[in-house]
Amino acid sequence: MRRRYLGMTAAIAAWGMTMALAGCGSSGGSGDVTLKLVAADYGTNSENSSEKYWSALATAFESKNPGIKVDVNVRPWKTVDSDVATMVEENRAPDIAQVGSYANYVKKGKLYTADEVLSVPTQANFLSQLAEAGKVNRLHYGLPFVASTRLLFYNKKLFDQAGLDAPKDWDDIQSNAEALKATGVTTPFALPLGSEEAQGETLMWLLSGGGGYTDTADGSYNIDSRQNIKTFQWLQKELVGKGLTGPVAPGKLDRAMAFKAFTSGQVGMLNGHPSLMAEAAKQGIKVGMVPLPGVNGTAKASMGVADWMMAFKQNGNRTAIGKFLDFVYDDQNVMSFAGQYDLLPVTYSANEAMAADPQYADLRKFLNALPTSELIPYGKNSWASVSESFKKNIGKAVEPGASPSNVLGGIARDAAAAEAAE
């Protein structure tokens, strides 16, 4: 990965020395400007709340940019997307939002494009895969903020006690889970299909089963494909039906609950991201990590996730927004946030720096998975409503007596309706 970034990084550095900042339009008025920023909280408690990061960043920015103030408003992940949606509906959109999706605001004409607010070097420094995921109809609106990939995590102590090796395919997952259950493990495999992050957990399993959310040929939704139905039939029969997913029904198990159970030693296996690795280490859990197992070996791709920043037009503060965003994407600031929460930076230069830094050695497996990862279809205007349908319904697909085909078919119909409404 490091070699991949070297040439681009050097070019960007040279370019940045010769290019003036783009996005130098009017801020909509004279005098002081106060930017309203709404951001998601990546912390798990008051000690590591993202409020501290953004407040310190705002203070540093304000000291270098007299006349521009930044009003920081950090919201919980569980509500931040709906909070921003409500603000927009009530005609009090923030200037900048850092949330989980952006495309639903594009059709309504609410957002600046990237080239309207960012300097050329900043925009060119985004990893190309993530920049493409931020586009709607070839225009770049969604600014990737941080990224992560997913690996299968397992508790080494519990595996050693059961005499197990890391799983390589679905048969291994099932047999390992049976062995863990036999040794008294409360949750051999945690399957969080609750409302918090069901759309992400679902995509991981669909990819490992050879399917996905969309058709690779034309990008259309392909939710109730044969491969996807088979994946959920397997989950229903081989994991949930055999009592291997713990005392909480998957449809009622949120990711945060599953992660907490893992870090307390109650879970044998689950799909995890970099932040969980660090939290487990703090709790003394020795973690093994392997690429997501597929039906007959490693899955065709890992799931990639990006969180997004977007710039709203409503208040007309284009120039001030651009100055702040260029500051946000300075390498030092990108690395500071990504490093604090064990996430992956979204720029070539910061990725090169992380790959070369020994203190981030534990993240290299995630970095290595990023170039071939498959992302959620962020650029589809309909994705926000389709995601909600997954959150509300996919847990039902693995319930006893349920029909995975019918549940996926219902979500597919919701997706078709959402697409038709665009």
pLDDT digits (tens, 9 = 90+) for 154-198: 999 999 999 999 999 999 999 999 999 999 999 999 999 998 889
pLDDT at 248: 97
Structural domain spans, the chain: 2-148+305-375, 151-301+382-420
pLDDT (mean) for 301-305: 88
The amino acid at 27: S
User: Is the confidence at residue 13, as pLDDT, over 50?
Assistant: no
Q: What are residue 265's phi and psi, to 5 degrees?
A: 85, 15
pLDDT-derived band at 31 (thresholds 50, 70, 90) equals: low
pLDDT-derived band at 381 (thresholds 50, 70, 90) equals: confident
Strands 287-290 and 267-272: unpaired
Triad 85, 387, 116: Cα angle to 5°: 50
User: Is the confidence at residue 322, as pLDDT, over 60?
Assistant: yes
pLDDT digits (tens, 9 = 90+) for 343-355: 999 999 998 999 8
User: Is the confidence at residue 413, as pLDDT, over 90?
Assistant: yes
pLDDT at 12: 40
CA of 302: how far to CAs of 5, 201, 204, 237, 412, in Å? 20, 11, 7, 24, 23
With contact defined as beta carbons under 8 Å apart, do 295 and 209 qualify? yes
Fold of 151-301+382-420: D-Maltodextrin-Binding Protein; domain 2 (3.40.190)
pLDDT-derived band at 24 (thresholds 50, 70, 90) equals: very low
Bridge partners of residue 136, in order along the sequence: 139
The CATH class that applies to domain 2-148+305-375 reads alpha beta
* Distance, C-alpha 396 to centroid of its chain: 23
DSSP 54-113: HHHHHHHHHHHSTTEEEEEEEEEHHHHHHHHHHHHHTT---SEEEES--GGGTTTT-B--
Q: Which long-range contacts (CB under 8 A, 24 or more apart) does 359-363 make?
A: 362/274, 362/277, 362/278, 363/274
Q: What is the mean pLDDT of the chain?
A: 90
User: Is the confidence at residue 205, as pLDDT, over 90?
Assistant: yes
**Least confidently predicted of 25-29, 237-241, 305-309, 415-419:** 25-29
pLDDT-derived band at 14 (thresholds 50, 70, 90) equals: very low
pLDDT-derived band at 219 (thresholds 50, 70, 90) equals: confident
Residues sharing a CB contact under 8 Å with residue 40, sequence separation 6 or more, in sequence order = 50, 74, 75, 76, 77, 80, 98, 99, 100, 307
3-state secondary structure of 399: coil
Residue 231: half-sphere exposure toward Cβ, Cα within 13 Å? 28
2-148+305-375 shares its CATH topology with 151-301+382-420: yes
User: Is the confidence at residue 304, as pLDDT, over 50?
Assistant: yes
**How far is residue 270's CA from residue 187's CA, in Å, rounded to a whole number?**
10
User: Is the confidence at residue 25, as pLDDT, over 50?
Assistant: no
User: Is the confidence at residue 28, as pLDDT, over 50?
Assistant: no
pLDDT digits (tens, 9 = 90+) for 99-142: 988 988 998 999 999 999 999 999 999 998 899 999 998 999 99
pLDDT at 44: 77
pLDDT-derived band at 299 (thresholds 50, 70, 90) equals: confident
3-state secondary structure of 310: strand
pLDDT digits (tens, 9 = 90+) for 32-84: 999 999 999 998 788 889 999 999 999 999 999 999 999 999 999 889 999 99
User: Is the confidence at residue 266, as pLDDT, over 50?
Assistant: yes
* Alpha helices for 294-396 (secondary structure H): 318-328, 331-340, 348-356, 364-369, 383-393
With pLDDT > 70 as the criterion, what percentage of the chain qualifies? 93
What burial class does residue 395 get, using C-beta atoms within 10 Å of its C-beta: 0-12 exposed, 13-18 middle, 19+ buried?
buried
